[in-house]
Amino acid sequence: QVQLVESGGGVVQPGRSLRLSCAASGFTFSNYAIHLVRQAPGKGLEWVAVIASDGRDKHYADSVKGRFTISRDNSKNTLFVQMNSLRAEDTAVYYCVRDADIGAADYYFDYWGQGTLVTVSS
């Protein structure tokens, strides 16, 4: 079965960095775009970033552009997100999410990881 397992969350001070990982299994990872979606405590959903199936194309929400970098290693079925210059408003559960369409991204999501909590606080 399709699984996405995030790791790397934790408590970090403002201005510091954190690296999230997402291990995928149960499907051909290299065939799908992967997204990052976050949810602040008690709040709604916010799309953060996407990386194309081959890793060449990436897009970011304005709120994280220039601070977050998404990458992938298709040989290891793993997604990475480097989060720099973290702010209090980045506090959220971060979900690794599979695009529903094979190949090109369609930007809706059929499988979600369980999420990893990132807390930015001094």
Partner 1 sequence: EIVMTQSPATLSVSPGERATLSCRASQSVSSNLAWYQQKPGQAPRLLIYGASTRATGIPARFSGSGSGTEFTLIITSLQSEDFAVYYCQQYKNWPAITFGQGTRLEIK
Q: Which residues bind partner 1 (CB under 8 A)?
A: 44-47, 50, 59-61, 95, 100, 105-110, 112-115
How far apart are CB 105 and partner 1 at their closest, in Å?
A: 7
Three-state DSSP class for 90?
A: helix
Three-state DSSP class for 57?
A: coil
Q: Which lies closer to partner 1 via its Cβ, residue 11 or residue 104?
A: 104
How far apart are CB 39 and partner 1 at their closest, in Å?
A: 9
Q: Which lies closer to partner 1 via its Cβ, residue 85 or residue 114?
A: 114
Q: Which lies closer to partner 1 via its Cβ, residue 15 or residue 26?
A: 26
Q: Which lies closer to partner 1 via its Cβ, residue 80 or residue 112?
A: 112
Distance of alpha carbon 103 from alpha carbon 112, whole angstroms: 18
Tokens coding 84: 């720099």
**Closest by Cα among 40, 10, 12 to 121:** 12
How far apart are CB 60 and partner 1 at their closest, in Å?
A: 8
Tokens coding 58: 């990436």
How far apart are CB 27 and partner 1 at their closest, in Å?
A: 13
Within 10 angstroms of residue 65's Cβ, the number of other Cβ atoms is 10
